[in-house]
């Protein structure tokens, strides 16, 4: 009996700690899903903390599950138990979730703030609204970083994407992402395929084989990564000479952690990251999410985020507001993937292509990896 009482007392304590309803029919708790690390820290600093200051009664819970957001959201939906309120995903995942009806369709002009000069949200985001469910936050790029102290003597530092495939001039391990996306494109580019033809070639079985054959020339020198934090760690350890990862992770290793690493930038692949709202949220939670979303995606907030991480804001009106790093005081613009000096040769990730071919090429790539 004593046992039962103690359990129920604890239970009541736990229950009461979470029940403080907001005055305006909005839920008082929000679960945001993001990527962890420096990126989530930038979101916390730029949107979540200021929002909490305005609404002290709201608690925000973060879940670092963006990596498996699609699978988890499917399972939650099936079990009719969606615990997430706002999910940060890459554009490709947003397209899939939208197609499957797991993400709510949004009307940008109605739900999002207009730019300060009156431009409507739809025009402000422009082409970056790649899906009806997707509210882009940032433009990031996947690119290479290399150890400056491991460049062989008498050789100039790598500045060409094809230096990744040149193990004779630049000996040492490379780290590449353990999936075909980006790697196949880079391989074709360095195998003599013109930039405009890459996806046409990659659509054919011969082209896919050609890309894999090119990758095979460096397979023995590759360490495959699956989390964005792997490459910075490998570079910091000196275990690899060069490696691909998201440009913000490299920025943090170079500027904040002071590692002897430099960026390659050549043939960087642009991609988008942003929010989706899970479909079918109860009304009070949806109201809270909409309120937060309107705040978190306005022009100033997106520009603020660039104070903490080197990703380009998705609104055109935010770009001129990008200033200096919040703690180090350095100019952020030269570290942005969209900076003219960095974006001399860029590559735009082709969503439609990968939506159509992903499963097929994935299977081939995994089989090739296992060989």
Partner 1 sequence: MNELIVNIKRPNLLTFTMPIVAVLGAMFGFVTGNIFGDPFIGAVGGAVVGAVLALALAKIVSIKRWKKIWGVAVVFAVVAALFGGVGGFLGGFVVGLSMGWFATWVGTGKYRAGVPIYYTPGQVLWHCTFLFICAFVFFFLIAPLIPVVWLSFNAENFFTFTPEMLSFKSAGYSLKHYRDFLGTDEWMVPLKNSLIIAPIATLISVSLGTLAAIGLSQSHVPGRQVMMAILISPMIVPLIISATGMFFFYAPLGNWLQLNLGLNQAFVGYVKVILAHAVLGIPFVIITVTATLVGFDSSLTRAAANMGADPVTTFFRVQMPLILPGVISGGLFAFITSFDEVVVVLFVGSARQQTLPWQMYTGLREQISPTILAAATILVSVSILLLATVELLRRRSERLRGMSPG
Question: For residue 159, what are the contacts with CB-CB under 8 A and spacing of at least 6?
Answer: 264, 266
Q: Which is nearer to partner 1, 52 or 294 (CB)?
A: 52
Q: How far is the CB of 114 from partner 1 (least distance, A)?
A: 32
How is residue 345 annotated by DSSP? S
Nearer to partner 1 by C-beta: 5 or 156?
5
In the bound complex, what is the minimum distance in angstroms from residue 189's beta carbon to partner 1? 29
Smallest distance from partner 1 to CB 184, Å: 24
For the chain, give percent helix, strand, coil, nearest 5: 45, 15, 35
Nearest to 300 by CA among 4, 26, 47: 47
Distance of closest approach, residue 238 Cβ to partner 1, in angstroms: 8
In the complex, what is the shortest distance from the CB of residue 230 to partner 1, in angstroms, rounded to a whole number?
Answer: 7
> What is the torsional sign of CA 70, 75, 80, 83?
negative
**Counts of helices then strands in the chain (DSSP H, E):** 15, 11
Rg, C-alpha atoms of the chain: 22
Shortest distance in whole angstroms from residue 88 CB to partner 1: 12
Instruction: Give the tokens for residue 162.
Output: 């094809």
**Closest CB to partner 1 among residues 161, 254:** 254
Single out the residue of 270, 265, 233 nearest to residue 90, CA to CA: 270
180/248 with CB nearer partner 1: 248
DSSP states of 197-211: GHHHHHTSHHHHHHH
Angle between helices 351-370 and 205-216 (to 10 degrees): 50
Nearer to partner 1, 263 or 322 (CB): 263
Distance of CA 214 to the CA centre of its chain: 27
Residue nearer to partner 1 on the CB measure, 36 or 323: 36
Alpha carbon separation from 109 to 116, 117, 129, 298, 333 (Å, rounded): 14, 14, 12, 12, 28
By CB under 8 A, name the binding residues for partner 1. Answer: 3, 6-7, 10-11, 14-15, 17-19, 29, 31, 33, 35-38, 61-65, 67, 75, 78-81, 83-84, 227-230, 232-233, 236-237, 256-257, 259
Query: Which C-beta is closer to partner 1: that of 3 or that of 348?
Result: 3
| Smallest gap from residue 1 Cβ to partner 1 (A) | 11
């Amino acid at each position: 009996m004593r046992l039962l009482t103690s359990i129920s007392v604890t239970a009541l304590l736990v229950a009461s700690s979470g029940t403080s309803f907001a005055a305006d029919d909005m839920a008082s708790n929000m679960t945001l899903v993001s990527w962890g690390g420096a990126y989530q820290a930038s979101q916390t600093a730029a949107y979540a903390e200021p929002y909490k200051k305005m609404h002290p009664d709201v608690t925000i819970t973060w879940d670092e599950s963006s990596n498996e957001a699609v699978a988890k959201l499917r399972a939650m939906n099936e079990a009719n138990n969606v615990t997430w309120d706002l999910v940060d995903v890459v554009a490709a995942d947003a397209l899939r979730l939208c197609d499957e009806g797991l993400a709510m369709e949004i009307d940008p002009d109605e739900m999002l703030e207009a730019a300060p000069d009156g431009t409507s949200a739809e025009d402000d985001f422009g082409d970056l609204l790649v899906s009806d469910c997707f509210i882009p936050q940032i433009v990031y790029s996947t690119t290479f970083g290399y150890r400056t102290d491991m460049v062989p003597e008498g050789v100039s530092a790598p500045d060409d994407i094809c230096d990744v495939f040149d193990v004779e001039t630049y000996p040492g391990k490379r780290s590449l992402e353990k999936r075909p996306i980006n790697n196949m494109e880079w391989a074709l580019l360095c195998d003599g395929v013109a930039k405009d033809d890459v996806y046409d070639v990659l659509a054919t079985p011969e082209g896919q084989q050609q890309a894999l054959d090119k990758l095979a020339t460096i397979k023995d020198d590759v360490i495959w990564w699956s989390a964005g934090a792997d490459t910075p760690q490998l570079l910091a350890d000196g275990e690899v000479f060069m490696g691909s990862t998201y440009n913000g992770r490299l920025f943090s290793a170079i500027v904040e952690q002071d590692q002897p690493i430099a960026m390659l930038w050549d043939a960087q692949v642009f991609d988008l990251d942003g929010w989706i709202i899970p479909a079918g949220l109860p009304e009070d939670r949806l109201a809270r999410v909409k309120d937060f979303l309107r705040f978190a995606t306005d022009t100033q907030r997106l520009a603020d985020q660039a104070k903490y991480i080197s990703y380009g804001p998705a609104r055109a009106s935010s770009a001129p507001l990008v200033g200096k790093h919040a703690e180090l005081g350095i100019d952020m613009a030269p570290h942005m993937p969209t900076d003219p000096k960095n974006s001399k040769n860029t590559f735009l990730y082709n969503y439609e292509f990968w939506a159509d071919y992903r499963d097929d090429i994935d299977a081939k790539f995994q089989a090739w990896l296992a060989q």
